Amino acid sequence: MFKNAIPDSILVSNYIQGCETSLETLIKKHKQRLYGFIYSKVQDRDITEDVFQDTFIKVIRTLKLGNYNEEGKFLPWVMRISHNLIIDHFRKSNRMRSFKNTDEFDIFSVISDGSLNVEKQLIKEQILSDVRELVKELPEEQKEVLVMRMYKDMSFKEISENTGVSINTALGRMRYALINLRKIIEKNKIILID
């Protein structure tokens, strides 16, 4: 339906310049995908509606303030906003505990909180996604060794054989990859731990 439609970057630009219908087009264009993403995480239609609306309130606010600079990456940016709002939702719901008032009080029903696990999983997924993006910024030789070691679980001997370099060279590339990754994280002021 939207294959031949106006690109997101043009719609965003038009909206910032005052064309309200451009935002409406963006919302319609991405509603199904974003709604499905939110619902897959929260498994509740009412909460999904709330998060969806809050996402676009935040989008509108950011665009109106002129703080949007993700050229050509509108949908990933919106998905990230909704992802953060989902995490916020789970954090808030953890603070508002509900207890069942029965004679058979079970302390484990209070201790085991499924939403906390969902929150931790979402945070973990976000961190892994952030790290994958950061790895792309490394020099090719370092990225190759890091991917083989961390994502393919290869030994340095296997890495050495696959890349045609000595084990010491593979170790050195891994060391520099980690040093450079740390520098990229610090430069971008990224927080990778909760």
Q: What is the CATH number assigned to the segment(s) 1-95?
A: 1.10.1740.10
Q: Decide if pLDDT at 189 tops 80.
A: no
Mean pLDDT of the chain: 80
Rounded distance between C-alpha atoms, residue 83 and residue 118, angstroms: 12
Rounded average pLDDT over 23-33: 91
Confidence of residue 192 (pLDDT cuts 50, 70, 90): low
Which residue type occupies 27?
I
* Amino acid 154: pLDDT: 84
Q: Are 115 and 94 in contact (CB under 8 A)?
A: yes
Least confident of 86-95, 99-108, 164-173, 179-188: 99-108
* Amino acid 95: pLDDT: 54
Q: 24 is written with which tokens?
A: 């409406």
Phi, psi of 96 (to 5 degrees): -100, 75
Q: Where are the domains of the chain?
A: 1-95, 114-194
Confidence of residue 4 (pLDDT cuts 50, 70, 90): low
* Amino acid 71: pLDDT: 64
Q: Decide if pLDDT at 36 tops 60.
A: yes
Tell me which of 185 and 59 has the higher pLDDT: 59
Q: Compute the Cα dihedral for 47, 50, 55, 56 and give only its sign.
A: positive
What global pTM score does this model have?
A: 0.50
Rounded distance between C-alpha atoms, residue 62 and residue 64, angstroms: 6
Rounded average pLDDT over 156-181: 89
- Which CATH code, of 3.30.70.920, 3.30.565.10, 3.90.550.10, 1.10.10.10, is assigned to 114-194? 1.10.10.10
Rounded distance between C-alpha atoms, residue 123 and residue 118, angstroms: 9
* Amino acid 185: pLDDT: 77
Q: Interior CA angle at 165 toward 163 and 168, to 5°? A: 125
